[in-house]
Chains A and B, each alone.
Chain A
Amino acid sequence: MAMNCTEFEQELIEQVEASDAQWSEAAERHLAECPQCRSSAKAMSTLDQVITAWKSTPLPSPPTDKLVAILRHEAASLSQPMIVLSERPSSTRWSAASWMTTAAACTLLLLGWAFWKQPASPQTASSSQIVTASADEISPVTATVADLWHGVRDRSATVARQTISSWDQMPAIAPVTNTEPPPNTDPELQPVLTQHSAIRSTSTELLSGWSNLSKPIGQQVGTALQFLGQVIPTDLPPAS
């Protein structure tokens, strides 16, 4: 069977790797009959000669030393990331740590200064300062004491007199005019003991016992005692 031009070209492709073409018998017959493929085959053969001349053309020399220097640097940099921390001098690491610590300390100081400069809220003030009750202020405890007193007075003048009598028998606390708290004393009790000169207490032991209570209770009890000290002596019920 005769070879056509396509089949001959396929044989050319298959022989592209060969240094010199070894045509098959069918290809030889096709070449004898087809001038176009014969011309192509001859052009390829000529091309091989041109390629030989082309290959022999000297190429410029590659920059060997430059390449070696670059690759040495590259090899060094490639080995560094794995041990970069351990190779760094310790002073450098401490320096970095010191800078971080200093920065953190400065931040904390700034935050503290900002809080310190911030004005105290009313709640903060009431919890950190003694609020002195005014004479006419009726706190719940005071109201309760007043209700009790008025109840006693209205129902039984005898009981009221007995109460006043027992009240008078209680040791009185010397009037205090100094509104400043004495040194080394618990400021939480100062409003109770210092605000009014006419306070009469049941006993110093009783008042000192209140000092163990929390501030709001102590303050209200003090106000209630103040009320009693002001009211009872002048509110004596008439003798029956």
Chain B
Amino acid sequence: MIEDSVLVQHCLAGEVDAIRTFVDRFQGTVFGLCYRMLRHREDAEDITQETFTRAFRHLRQWQPGRPLKPWLMAIAANRCRTRLARRSHQPQLAGEWQDYAVNPAPTCGLAEELDNGLQELREDYRICFVMFYQQELSIQEISAALECPPGTIKTWLHRARKQLAEYLQQRGVVNQDGDELH
């Protein structure tokens, strides 16, 4: 597999194949984060597009020694934060977001419950959780992306897990003993 630094050089040269490879390599990660964070397909597509566009505009400033994936995830996380903040300032549209939000498949009850629980988390915790479990970034990579010490990332991740566990208990998904009910 071609290295990120070489891929970037080909992309900067405008090679179509390299651009497609770049998109194929990172779009799932970026789009997954956006989708999990925003829970809205069109919004997720918009933010994914914004993320890649911004990344391309600053690709010349990207340092080859820096991992590309956390860098992209940092851009995506910031864009998601901005979009969520914009939503929070538009309370009249809150209902519309819910109306157009993607409904998960009915067979995925547990996943849906977890998704709902994620929305209750603080943004930092949510980003951390999605990056770690959905995108499978390491603590070090998340630390680099969010520019926080690894210890802080571990704490945020633990708090996210703890709050989600409590949420699932409140929702009756897990009983007081921690056993799964359905």
Q: A residues touching B (Cβ–Cβ < 8 Å)?
A: 9, 12-14, 16-17, 39-47, 49-51, 53-60, 62-64, 66-68, 70-72, 74-76, 78-79
Which single member of A43, A51, A55, A58 contacts B178 (CB below 8 Å)? A43
Q: What does DSSP make chain B's interface, helix, strand, loop or mixed?
A: helix
B49 / chain A contacts, CB cutoff of 8 Å = 63, 66-67, 70
A60 / chain B contacts, CB cutoff of 8 Å = 31, 35, 41, 44, 102
| CB atoms of B115 and A54 under 8 A apart | yes
Known interface pairs A62-B28, A62-B45, A70-B53; A39-B178 also in contact (CB < 8 Å): yes
Q: Tell me how many residues of B have a C-beta within 8 Å of chain A.
A: 56
Known interface pairs A44-B165, A57-B111; A62-B133 also in contact (CB < 8 Å): no
Interface: B78 (CB within 8 A)? no
Q: Which residue of chain A has the shortest Cβ distance to B18 in the bound complex?
A: A75
| CB atoms of A44 and B161 under 8 A apart | yes
- Contact sample, A vs B, 21 pairs, CB 8 Å cutoff: A13-B158, A39-B177, A42-B178, A43-B169, A44-B161, A44-B178, A46-B174, A47-B174, A49-B180, A53-B108, A59-B32, A62-B31, A64-B24, A64-B27, A67-B49, A68-B16, A68-B19, A68-B20, A71-B22, A75-B12, A75-B19
Q: Which residue of chain B has the shortest Cβ distance to A75 in the bound complex?
A: B14
B155 / chain A contacts, CB cutoff of 8 Å = 13
Given contacts A47-B161, A49-B180, A60-B102, 20 further A-B contacts (CB under 8 A): A17-B138, A41-B178, A43-B165, A43-B168, A46-B168, A50-B111, A50-B173, A57-B105, A57-B108, A58-B105, A59-B35, A62-B30, A64-B23, A64-B24, A64-B27, A66-B49, A71-B19, A75-B14, A75-B56, A78-B56
Q: B residues touching A (Cβ–Cβ < 8 Å)?
A: 11-12, 14, 16, 19-20, 22-24, 27-28, 30-32, 35, 41, 44-45, 48-49, 52-53, 56-57, 60, 102, 104-105, 108, 110-111, 113-115, 133-134, 138-139, 154-155, 157-158, 161-162, 164-166, 168-169, 173-174, 176-180
| CB atoms of A51 and B27 under 8 A apart | no
| CB atoms of B52 and A54 under 8 A apart | no
How many whole Å from B155's CB to the nearest CB in chain A? 6
How many whole Å from B20's CB to the nearest CB in chain A? 5
How many whole Å from A50's CB to the nearest CB in chain B? 5
